[in-house]
Each structure stands twice: as structure tokens, then as C-alpha cells.
Amino acid sequence: GENVEQHPSTLSVQEGDSAVIKCTYSDSASNYFPWYKQELGKRPQLIIDIRSNVGEKKDQRIAVTLNKTAKHFSLHITETQPEDSAVYFCAACNYGGSQGNLIFGKGTKLSVKP
């Protein structure tokens, strides 16, 4: 089945710097890759997603890149702000295939220091 590895587990940056979180997946048939943000004590919320027919997607300060050949995808946050501090989870799945449910990484705790 699908396996998703996420790195790093913790990341500390200064306000205004960029942050990058990387995930690798094992199932080459996976075709949907969402990223969720979870603030302390809150529910996970989708911040961006990408499908396998696209290599990059941007939404203001957030971008996701996908390398299908290498089976990895990354979350990029530019001009970080203290409110970006949270745990970020990547996920992968093969919709329409044998593994049609989201498999999550273990999360990255991002701390943005003012």
C-alpha cells in the first residue's frame, strides 16, 4: 500500500524567511496530494492541493510542487508570518485505484519566530 514520508518533523524559521516541507510517496499511481494545516488544539484544514497532471500550484504565499518521476512533493511558504506557526500534514492517494483513501505523513511542526 501507499506510504508517505514527511520531513522535517520540526522546522523553525525567522519571520519573513521561507519554509519548505518535503514529502515522498511510494505508490506511483497516486494522483492527488493535499496539504493540511493544523493549529494547536484545532482541526486540520486544507490549505492547498495538487493533482498528478500538474507540476506546480500557487496560492498567494503558498506553493506546492510535484515531481512524479521522483515521487515527491513539497510545500513552500514564502514571507512567513507568526500565524503560519502550526503542524502541516501532507497526504497522498490514488483516487479511482486500489488505494482510494488519503494516507497522511506524520506532520511537520513549523515555528515562525517574530
Partner 1 sequence: NTGVTQTPKFRILKIGQSMTLQCTQDMNHNYMYWYRQDPGMGLKLIYYSVGAGITDKGEVPNGYNVSRSTTEDFPLRLELAAPSQTSVYFCASSYLEQETQYFGPGTRLLVL
Binding site for partner 1 (CB under 8 A): 6, 9, 32, 34, 42-46, 49, 51, 89, 91, 95-96, 100-107
Secondary structure percentages of the chain, helix, strand, coil, to 5: 5, 55, 45
Residues with Cβ < 8 Å from 30, sequence gap 6 or more?
2, 52, 71, 92, 93, 94, 99
Q: Compute the least distance from the CB of residue 61 to partner 1, in Å.
A: 19
Closer to partner 1 at the Cβ: 13 or 102? Answer: 102
Q: Compute the least distance from the CB of residue 16 to partner 1, in Å.
A: 28
Inter-CA distances, 77 with 95, 99, 109, Å: 27, 29, 13
Closer to partner 1 at the Cβ: 3 or 18? Answer: 3
Q: Compute the least distance from the CB of residue 80 to partner 1, in Å.
A: 22
Closer to partner 1 at the Cβ: 17 or 39? Answer: 39
Closer to partner 1 at the Cβ: 61 or 106? Answer: 106
Tell me if 9 sits within 8 A of 105, measured CB to CB: no
